[in-house]
Structure 1
């Protein structure tokens, strides 16, 4: 359009292509001016009329488009309502939709047909706050692990934590409090673990050393989750003094020492944990968890130190920068 106006302003004749474009665009007044059949004064009058008609046409087109969109929206709403009513009246469709909603809630995608009944029972029980038997949890963990999402794991541990907390409140059984604390931590609620172990510890002063040590260790782990490392280390040392042959306080002290920057002590405590019976795989998983929680620079420092202490034992730490992030 700009090129056409420039040529006309310079008094140059338009090409056949340009004239055809003016006709196709509905610019009749400009076309007639270009071929010389009307004067500039007549063009101004006719072009004003054309602009007015175009505005009216555009407004009518916009209104027609809005009407079509509204009709389409109404149609889709009616179709959706009809489908919903059909689903509500059809128990099979309703159950299928409820199952899809539940899987979506817990981040579970496709389930193999042979696993479907037990997996859905597992999900429904957790959604209703009912406990899962150890056997059923073991079955899902081994046969349908691909369905055991983070959301489902957290739900499982929260249900267990709530049940064990209730058990502790009703019976005063210290082991119920200890196990509840472990589940609260795995449900990503360490503050609940700190609360229940505080109460249980106050009632356990005359308990056996093993019980007091377990309470201190799980409480220390919860404080470690909350980054209260000095308090966690103090509890770990007390627990170790009570049960020097138990690997659990040693594992706690190994992790806390690394996170406090005391790498030599961290390595020594992990060695003590392995000497007392913990599996090397568990120590490696614990170290991975520590590496995932610290800064990139600290991750490199810890990895380099442990590798220097035992290159064969910690050869997996060569790629710890990315491995820790993946884990």
Structure 2
């Protein structure tokens, strides 16, 4: 006859609801095996059955009752165990739900307090001002740390500018000196775009070609060289009578052509401007820059020397050369580096530290 398995025995003795009855080598399973095999239980075995509340099974093991009587009593004990287990389960469920409700109430109270604090904070005039200032700075990429003594002036400038006003001369002076850390590229572009539109409108209103020159200069500084080219091209010849004006138009137009990579046209306009005002350094600066970009380094150096003789600063020329160097491809950069170091290794020592990894720092404003 096949030996009964653990589940069969547990079911036969009506204790299948107790986990230990189905686990091999467990204490309860050992007792079942002894009963099945007719072996007597030890004192400890009987004590263990009493601990589990298995009264009927203990009586059966001592031979005090028959198996049929045992089954009736054991079934009643099993029902009571299951009822107690269900009561315990429900109590645990009730306790768990109560804990969850308490936690939910605590969470709701916490978030209500946080919301009240947020509303109080956001209704505070100082907080509102701070948030508006932060958003305004973010709009113009002014992410540098602002010194406390600079904050009032900076925010006054930004609020006026954001309201549609142009930067005053005093604003520009402060932003390019004491407040230069806050004169972000985005703010500079926005400033030059606004100035360009102002002077373009003035040109339309007055037909004064100098306004077109000023507008074009600002268009170039905010990367809108095409607009500068279109505006300068539109100036009628009868408004270009004075040599100084014609030279300014040609120089600015040449700069726009340079920005648009139309270098031969820029060269022609630069030469035209120099013929009109041979003592003005601006055409010479343009011709120096264009020749360097074309790879005519000796010619470019000569034009820059003429610009210095006519009033250009060494600093402005070095700024031009640095921008040209940074925009050049690797081969041109190496050529220019070698030329500049031959010319003056001290003055142009900066080329040694600038490499391909620093191209992103190239300056946008050039002559």
User: Which of 288, 301, 308 is the equivalent residue of 1:274?
Assistant: 308
**Structure 1 segment 39-118 matched on structure 2, within 5 A:** 85-86=119-120, 89-109=123-143, 110-118=145-153
Decide whether the 8 Å contact of 1:161 with 1:179 is kept in 2: yes
**Structure 1 segment 282-293 matched on structure 2, within 5 A:** 282-293=316-327
Separation in 2, partners of 1:77, 1:212 = 70
Deviation at 1:240? 0.9
Deviation at 1:84? 6.5
Q: What residue is the counterpart of 2:188 in the other structure?
A: 153
Deviation at 1:160? 1.4
Structure 1 residues 310 and 77: alpha-carbon distance in aligned structure 2, compared to 1, 3 A threshold: same
Separation in 2, partners of 1:256, 1:158 = 25
- Is 1:181 aligned to 2:181, yes or no? no
TM-score by length of 1: 0.71
What value does the CA root-mean-square deviation take over the aligned residues? 3.3
Q: What residue is the counterpart of 2:278 in the other structure?
A: 244
User: Which of 211, 220, 227 is the equivalent residue of 2:245?
Assistant: 211
Separation in 2, partners of 1:252, 1:212 = 15
Decide whether the 8 Å contact of 1:307 with 1:315 is kept in 2: yes
Q: What residue is the counterpart of 1:138 in the other structure?
A: 173
Separation in 2, partners of 1:96, 1:290 = 41
Separation in 2, partners of 1:251, 1:184 = 19
Separation in 2, partners of 1:34, 1:158 = 88
User: Which of 154, 158, 171 is the equivalent residue of 1:119?
Assistant: 154
Deviations 1:76-123 (A, max 9, x none): 998897667545643332222111111111122332121111100111
Decide whether the 8 Å contact of 2:330 with 2:356 is kept in 1: no
Q: What residue is the counterpart of 1:165 in the other structure?
A: 200
Deviations 1:272-317 (A, max 9, x none): 1112110111100001111111102211101212332444554444
- 3-state SS of paired residue (1:142): coil
Q: What residue is the counterpart of 1:10 in the other structure?
A: none
Deviation at 1:124? 1.3
Indicate the larger mover: 86-95 or 282-291.
Answer: 86-95
Q: What residue is the counterpart of 1:6 in the other structure?
A: none
Q: What residue is the counterpart of 1:196 in the other structure?
A: 231
Structure 1 residues 91 and 240: alpha-carbon distance in aligned structure 2, compared to 1, 3 A threshold: same
Decide whether the 8 Å contact of 1:174 with 1:200 is kept in 2: yes
- 3-state SS of paired residue (2:148): coil
TM-score by length of 2: 0.64
Separation in 2, partners of 1:287, 1:299 = 11
Deviation at 1:157? 1.4
Separation in 2, partners of 1:203, 1:83 = 69
Q: What residue is the counterpart of 1:8 in the other structure?
A: none
**Corresponding pairs, count:** 268
- Is 1:232 aligned to 2:232, yes or no? no
Decide whether the 8 Å contact of 1:300 with 1:320 is kept in 2: no
Structure 1 residues 313 and 147: alpha-carbon distance in aligned structure 2, compared to 1, 3 A threshold: closer
Deviation at 1:143? 1.8
Indicate the larger mover: 161-170 or 88-97.
Answer: 88-97
Decide whether the 8 Å contact of 2:254 with 2:286 is kept in 1: yes
Separation in 1, partners of 2:252, 2:114 = 52
Separation in 1, partners of 2:275, 2:117 = 67
Deviations 1:53-77 (A, max 9, x none): xxxxxxxxxxxxxxxxxx9xx9799
Separation in 2, partners of 1:237, 1:167 = 29
Q: Which blocks of at least 5 consecutive residues in structure 2 are unaligned?
A: 1-18, 30-103, 363-367
User: Which of 232, 253, 264 is the equivalent residue of 2:298?
Assistant: 264
Separation in 2, partners of 1:34, 1:292 = 82
